[in-house]
A and B are shown apart, each in its own frame.
Chain A
Amino acid sequence: MADARTTQPVLTAREAGWCGCRECGRLNLPDAAVCTLCGMRLQKDPNLQAVWAWLAAGVVAYIPANLYPMLRTSTLGRQQDSTIVAGAIELAEMGSWGVAAIVLIASVLIPVSKFLVIAYLAVTVQRGWPVRGHLRYRLYEVVEFVGRWSMIDVFVVAILSALVRFNMAATIAPGVAAFSFALSVIFTMLAAQNFDPRLLWMTRGPKTA
């Protein structure tokens, strides 16, 4: 790939109207609407609508996730609702900096950066901003990889509420936020998945050509 940059401009398959299948990788003729091998619908135009849609849904779901209580803890008849941020602050106040940091990273930093990264990638693709090296692709890979870890919060809630059920003494129940947070994570993952990384290279084509 490194020497690809130094080579002479060549006619790419895309420029020739050929289209590769995202599913099986088969190169289809320009007039084919469906992959001849796997029957998948071919995506010829850079379509980012789905990405934007999922991303929007993710952001929308992320708002109640932060406003509503994540955990509903009843300890000896005393009920306490805690939102994500409030829980993290409480943990920090109790001195558990490590746990507080993990919670903050997993449920605030990662989702928010995911939104930003996906939005950035989508914008660059749409506007056809020039690519600077492999930065954007790396960003995409990180987002793809890290996205599932956001679910850690949801898992914690699920496990806690399953384990801590001592009726009077202590009970933990998931709040509304847990549900919407899970939805938010799922939506962003779908957004990332719907993002065709080839588009990153596509934009580069016309500029270099």
Chain B
Amino acid sequence: MQTTPPKPSFWRNLSPVWLVPILAVVISLGIAWRSYNDRGTLIEIIFQNAGGVVARETAVRLRDVPIGVVEEVRFSGDLSHVVVAARIAKGVAANIPENAQFWIVRPEVSARGISGLSTVLSGVYVETAFTPATGSDVRSFNGLEAAPLLMPGREGRRITLRAADGNRLTPGAPVLYRGIQVGHIEAPRLIDGAEGVWVDAFVEAPYDMRLTTAARFWDTSGFSVSFGTSGLRLGVGNLASILTGGIAFDSVSSSGEPLGEGAVFELYTDEGTARSSVLTGVDANALRLTVEFDQSVQGLTSGSDVRYRGLVVGQVSGVSARVVEDEGQVKVRMQAAIALNPEAMGLEPGSGPEALKDFLATQVRSGLRARLAPARLIGSALVIELVDLPETPPAELREIPDGLPILPTVYANLPDFSATAQGLLERVNRLPIEGVMEQAISLMSAAEQLVSQESTRAIPETARALLEEGRKLLSNEKIQQLPGEAVSVLTDIRAILTSFTEQEGTERLIAALQSVEDAATGLTEVTAEVPPVLTDLRGVLEKVRQLKAEELVEAATSLVKGADQFVRSEDTQALSPALSGALQEVEAVLSELRAGGTVENVNGTLSSARDAADAVALAAKDLPALAGRLDRLVGQAEALVSAYGARSPVNDELLSALREARATARVFSQLARAIERNPNSLLFGR
């Protein structure tokens, strides 16, 4: 009864709600496909120990940005390593080159600071560093145990340093340039077959511009205390370098040239040594060699010169012993590491160690050998000498893999210098230096006392005043009108003065004193003490003539004592005021003369002055004779001394006495010169 309407077609009957599940499926599939497609590349990193790495949690980071997650941590087949499988974002994985470095970042507390602190809470992560390379399909890498000191992709320069030991060279210790950290060092490693260690250092850009061949490196770790002529010097580096060690460098000269590849520098123990090393000239291009000796190397130290035909061409950088097996025999050989400077050897500037090595190899074939040689005539210090000996058995510059080439040597016959030196020192030691010195000192102090007396010093002043007066008198019109007598007087005076000037050394003193003595009447009384001294001298001379040595010595001693007494005697000390008084008297006479104005007076005075001048001339004539005699005495005494031989105490005494006499004379001559200097210039008007 009821007609069912025709059933609509399947499609027409379809509810639009079906779109929802279809959409859901499409979206789900889309998401699934995308997450599959985006799934990173699986790589494997092999670690010794994967402490803290958790599967599906530990991130792999590049420059601290996560690029993947560790998916699995498992052992390698033989359980010797840990294999960490990680999924790395697709785009990144294709750029990881074979030499990519992976390491696990863990919290680390060291003297240089604390690093990886964030991992304390968040857990460790795997950090990677590499220089991107496109199209890489390497999927297995070796992990590092610790963060690499040199991050790939960092701009800078890598250099190698040679140090005596690796004591304070901690990996990662800073490289400082004027106190600023510009890089770091890596772990030191031993040099095979020679003293010292190599240590690589990395200097970051742009500081690597500071590295030239003129750069010198030194160790700044800890404190440095040096004591020298400039006093005590205490050097303290920065705190980190005190704790971990560190090295600093600086350009020691402006003539540095850019570095080539694989530059090697010497690491000096302190800044002073480093800076002074410019002079010794071990530079970055130096060729390092080993020299082996069969004989004692006592006196050869690190820093000893290496010479070639007398020229310093390098330096010894270390000396050590080495056991070698030679034709079945075990021998101990002394080994010295040396550094040769190519430029010093005459190669072109900028030549590298290789060029020098080639050069040396040919030279060795034609007879170049190393040999020990004394550094100085006296002393046991040694240097290494490179000598050309064409007659020696042929040898080669021996190359050692991983070590320094060995330069062949010849035996050197070294004299025993130490014995000779000792004998010399003993002889020097036996000389009675102290006694002589004491006497000399006492004499000198007495002389000094005399000279420094005020009245002595006043003499030149007075003399000058006197001469001033004289000059005024001479410029007086009336004087100029005086007859030729006056002129002759003046000529006489000039002659005296000329003889005065002509006299030299000791003679001048005595002449001056004698002239003044004779010129001024008052003076004669005071200087009565002088003639006895001279008489003594003459007596000495007499005795010397008779060659009575003992008496001579005694006499010489008494002469010296007399001289000493004379110098010390109050009379002598009073001589100066007396001299001044005499001069003042002359001055008074002259002023009177000027004031009086009578020709008679002048004439009289002039004649008396002439007499005085004549007396002075006479005395002056006598004095050189006296001085000559004194000189002869000295000469004879010296002859006597030589006759007695080099090492008699008598002689020494005599010589010292004579030397004292000479010294005294020198003091007087100085006094005379002081008196003479000003009058001269005033008298001649210039």
Contacts and interface: CB of A to CB of B under 8 A. Distances in A.
B22 to A, nearest CB: 8
Tier of interface size on chain B: 20 to 34
B121 interface: yes
Interface in B88-136: 118, 121-123
A80 B17 CA distance: 37
A53 B18 CA distance: 5
A115 B385 CA distance: 100
Interface string A54-73: 10110111011000000000
A185 to B, nearest CB: 13
Nearest to B122: A77
A78 interface: yes
B21 interface: yes
Contacts of A61: 24, 28
Contact of B21 (A60, A79, A194): A60
Interface in A12-70: 17, 47, 49-50, 53-54, 56-57, 59-61, 63-64
A105 interface: no
B298 interface: no
A78 B31 CA distance: 26
Given A57-B24, A61-B24, A183-B24, A76 B18 contact: no
A63 B28 contact: yes
B57 A49 contact: no
A44 to B, nearest CB: 9
A176 B25 CA distance: 15
A146 B32 CA distance: 30
A187 interface: yes
B230 interface: no
Contacts, number: 55
B2 interface: yes
Contacts of B229: none
Interface string B1-33: 010000000000111011111011100100110
Contacts of A187: 20-21, 24
Nearest to B35: A68
Contacts of B25: 56, 60
B32 to A, nearest CB: 8
Given A17-B2, A78-B57, A78-B123, A60 B24 contact: yes
Contacts of A50: 15, 17
A183 B27 CA distance: 12
Interface string A69-101: 000000011111000000000000000000000
Contact of A80 (B14, B18, B24, B57): B57
Nearest to A169: B121
B14 A49 contact: yes
A54 B24 CA distance: 10
A56 B57 contact: no
Nearest to A51: B17
A49 B15 contact: yes
Tier of interface size on chain A: 20 to 34
A79 B122 CA distance: 8
The B interface is mostly helix, strand or loop, or mixed, namely helix
| Most B CB within 10 A of own CB, among A47, A49, A60, A194 | A60
Nearest to A61: B24
Contacts of B57: 78-80
Given A60-B25, A77-B118, A53 B20 contact: yes
A64 B34 CA distance: 13
A13 B126 CA distance: 75
Interface in A176-209: 176, 183, 187, 194
Interface in B121-164: 121-123
Contacts of A57: 20-21, 23-24
A80 to B, nearest CB: 7
Nearest to A56: B21
A76 B20 contact: no
B122 A54 contact: no
B121 A76 contact: yes
Contacts of A63: 28
A73 B15 CA distance: 41
Nearest to B123: A78
A16 to B, nearest CB: 9
A79 B118 CA distance: 13
Nearest to B4: A45
Given A76-B121, A78-B122, A49 B18 contact: yes
Contact of B20 (A54, A77, A79, A176): A54
Contacts of B21: 53-54, 56-57, 59-60, 187
Contacts of A60: 21, 24-25, 28
B248 to A, nearest CB: 38
Contacts of A78: 57, 121-123
Nearest to A183: B24
B13 A49 contact: yes
Contacts of B24: 56-57, 60-61, 183, 187
Nearest to B19: A53
Interface in B31-79: 31-32, 57
Nearest to B66: A79
A29 B658 CA distance: 164
A29 B408 CA distance: 126
A173 to B, nearest CB: 16
A49 B11 CA distance: 12
A50 B13 CA distance: 11
A63 B24 CA distance: 11
A191 to B, nearest CB: 9
Contacts of B20: 53-54, 57, 187
A183 B23 CA distance: 12
Nearest to B121: A76
Contact of A53 (B2, B17, B31, B122): B17
Contacts of B13: 49
Contacts of B14: 49
Given A53-B21, A63-B28, A47 B121 contact: no
A47 B15 contact: yes
Contacts of B15: 47, 49-50, 53
A77 B125 CA distance: 12
Nearest to A79: B57
Nearest to A75: B121
B122 A76 contact: yes
A79 B407 CA distance: 64
27 contacts: A17-B2, A49-B13, A49-B14, A49-B15, A49-B18, A50-B17, A53-B15, A53-B17, A53-B18, A53-B20, A54-B20, A54-B21, A56-B21, A56-B24, A56-B25, A57-B20, A57-B24, A60-B21, A60-B28, A61-B24, A61-B28, A76-B121, A77-B118, A77-B121, A77-B122, A78-B121, A78-B123
Given A49-B13, A76-B122, A77-B122, 13 more contacts: A47-B15, A49-B14, A54-B20, A56-B24, A57-B23, A59-B21, A61-B24, A61-B28, A63-B28, A76-B121, A77-B118, A78-B57, A187-B24
- In the A-B complex, the 6 residue pairs with the closest CB atoms: A77-B122, A56-B21, A57-B21, A49-B15, A76-B121, A53-B17
Interface of B: 2, 13-15, 17-21, 23-25, 28, 31-32, 57, 118, 121-123
